[in-house]
């Protein structure tokens, strides 16, 4: 049974049957479902992907090179929302999504199959990535690569605005808990260990915080800076617990966290220690995940639309949008954790 045979049996053009399988946006949903059901009844379940690839040189597959392993990426609220945005755009236009974990030495085969590549997040040396994706259409998300269009958010001005808000009530002591600010060190870190802004988006957030601190006559080098490597509850607990278990005389009363997961972990651990948020400890996050807005105290944070980032990156890769770098705006959310 071939596509042409199915078209003849159904009394439609081969292009119509092809569109039902390959270009669903060209047909109404009802018409497409009607054709797919009739084709299935005839024993035809779609074009042979291997034959199509040989004929057209295209697989219909978009690869997404993740910053972390698959389990982490699908568990993390921000990453999973972004992946869903990519998938929604690809679904609409008849493409498949291949997720590749962030271990570059294991991804070559998957990249070779793809019509295009989305590179998401921190990956280390950009030269390695550029070699891997050479010759294929590519779009980056949350990372800057030479010659590659990127989708980012306004990390610097967003964190600047958030910190300015937090500093409207002058703190006694400030601490910052960052995410992947260094190559590997977890715990309290010095400024000399920080990665550059082109390697990690959280460095741009940190620079916005430093700007606001300087405006408030607080020397950034005098502020305790802590680093977390994994944006999970278990990854945050050891660092945040050590910070909160300091003597009252040195414990911060304003904690600026570079992700909502860090901030929510801090709220949980603070409450377990009898610290009142925000009376004893004011806390800010970054990302705007649903959990932070549904619990009490509601988190003060910056909301980014991760699904929109994913949809835009996929649209750019499919040539539905111009392939040029974009910076999406964010929204400052004033909650109860730092009113």
Q: What is the pLDDT of residue 104?
A: 54
What's the rounded mean pLDDT across residues 131-141? Answer: 86
Residue among 91, 97, 28 nearest 61 (CA): 97
Cβ-contact 104, 123 below 8 angstroms = yes
Structure tokens at 270: 């603070």
What's the rounded mean pLDDT across residues 84-112? Answer: 80
* pLDDT band at residue 103 using 50, 70 and 90 as cut-offs: low
User: pLDDT tens digits, residue range 253-283?
Assistant: 999 999 999 999 999 999 999 999 999 999 9
Structure tokens at 287: 């990302």
CA distance 32 to 26: 9
What's the rounded mean pLDDT across residues 193-211? Answer: 89
What's the rounded mean pLDDT across residues 209-219? Answer: 97
Q: How many residues make up the chain in this entry?
A: 339
- Classify residue 119 by burial, with Cβ atoms within 10 Å: 0-12, 13-18, 19+: buried
Q: What is the pLDDT of residue 56?
A: 46
User: pLDDT tens digits, residue range 25-42?
Assistant: 788 888 888 888 888 888
Is the pLDDT at 321 greater than 60? The verdict is: yes
Q: Of residues 52 and 58, which shows the higher confidence score?
A: 58
Q: Of residues 111 and 282, which shows the higher confidence score?
A: 282
CA distance 296 to 336: 8
Q: What is the pLDDT of residue 72?
A: 85
Q: Of residues 15 and 308, which shows the higher confidence score?
A: 308
Structure tokens at 31: 């018409």
Is the pLDDT at 127 greater than 70? The verdict is: no
User: pLDDT tens digits, residue range 68-83?
Assistant: 888 888 889 999 999 9
Cβ-contact 88, 315 below 8 angstroms = no
Share of the chain above pLDDT 70, in %: 92
Long-range contacts of 210-213 (CB under 8 A, 24+ apart): 211/156, 211/160, 211/163, 212/159, 212/160, 212/163, 212/164, 212/167, 213/163, 213/167, 213/174
Q: Of residues 64 and 135, which shows the higher confidence score?
A: 64
For the chain, state the CA radius of gyration: 24
CA distance 91 to 46: 16
Task: Share the mean pLDDT of the chain.
Answer: 89
Is the pLDDT at 123 greater than 80? The verdict is: no
User: pLDDT tens digits, residue range 167-186?
Assistant: 999 999 999 999 888 887 89
- Classify residue 80 by burial, with Cβ atoms within 10 Å: 0-12, 13-18, 19+: middle
User: pLDDT tens digits, residue range 284-293?
Assistant: 999 999 999 9
């Amino acid at each position: 049974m071939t596509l042409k045979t199915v078209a003849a049996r159904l009394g439609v053009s081969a292009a119509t049957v092809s569109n039902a399988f390959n270009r669903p946006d060209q047909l109404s949903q009802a018409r497409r479902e009607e054709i797919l059901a009739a084709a299935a009844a005839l024993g035809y379940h779609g074009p042979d992907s291997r034959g199509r690839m040989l004929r057209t040189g295209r697989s219909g597959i978009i690869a997404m090179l993740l910053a972390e392993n698959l389990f982490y990426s699908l568990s993390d609220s921000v990453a999973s929302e972004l992946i869903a945005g990519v998938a929604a755009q690809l679904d609409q236009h008849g493409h498949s999504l291949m997720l590749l974990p962030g271990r570059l030495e294991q991804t070559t085969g998957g990249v070779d199959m793809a019509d295009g590549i989305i590179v998401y997040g921190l990956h280390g040396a950009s030269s390695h990535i550029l070699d891997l994706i050479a010759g294929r259409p590519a779009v980056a998300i949350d990372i800057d690569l030479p010659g590659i269009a990127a989708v980012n958010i306004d990390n610097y001005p967003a964190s600047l605005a958030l910190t300015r808000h937090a500093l409207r009530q002058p703190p006694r002591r400030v601490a910052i808990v960052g995410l992947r600010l260094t190559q590997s060190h977890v715990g309290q870190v010095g400024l000399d260990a920080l990665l550059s802004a082109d390697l990690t988006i959280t460095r741009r957030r940190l620079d916005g915080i430093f700007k606001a601190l300087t405006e408030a006559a607080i020397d950034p080098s005098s502020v305790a800076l802590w680093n977390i490597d994994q944006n999970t509850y278990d990854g945050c607990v050891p660092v945040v617990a050590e910070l909160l278990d300091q003597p009252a005389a040195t414990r911060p009363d304003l904690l600026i966290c570079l992700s909502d997961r860090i901030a929510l972990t801090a709220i949980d651990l603070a409450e377990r220690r009898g610290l009142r948020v925000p009376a004893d400890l004011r806390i800010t996050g970054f990302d705007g995940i649903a959990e932070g807005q549904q619990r009490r105290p509601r988190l003060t944070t910056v909301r980014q639309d991760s699904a929109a980032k994913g949809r835009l990156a996929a649209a750019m890769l499919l040539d539905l949008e111009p392939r040029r770098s974009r910076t999406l705006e964010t929204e400052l959310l004033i909650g109860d954790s730092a009113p």
